[in-house]
Amino acid sequence: MIPKYLHKYFWDTNPNNVSAKKDNRDIIYRILNEGDVLAIKWMFKNFDINLIKEALMKRRGFTPRSLNFWRLFFDIPKNKILCLNKPCKKGQKILWPY
């Protein structure tokens, strides 16, 4: 289970069913993308730094602002971030050309 103050990040599901062990990548994604200071502190306390970096590098759907902030924070080169690679960007335009 996750703390009550993180429930707001899981508006689309029952937050009581979210497990820090089972849903770790989804939790990390939501906190990196939308989290406040309290959520970020909890994330760093509960998850290994390498797991956090891996989620950032391999998960799609980050906002450009949060993706670039965390990329710089962790000093990860652009070419290591899946969503910053050209095929990913090009595919988004094909799927939704508007």
Contact of 40 with 12, CB cutoff 8 Å: no
Contact of 20 with 2, CB cutoff 8 Å: yes
Q: What is the DSSP letter of 60?
A: -
How much is the average pLDDT of 15-26? 88
How much is the average pLDDT of 7-35? 90
- The answer, yes or no, to whether residue 89 has pLDDT greater than 70, is no
Higher per-residue confidence, 80 vs 73: 73
Give the separation between CA 30 and CA 11, rounded to whole angstroms.
11
How much is the average pLDDT of 30-49? 95
Burial (0-12, 13-18, 19+ Cβ within 10 Å), 79: exposed
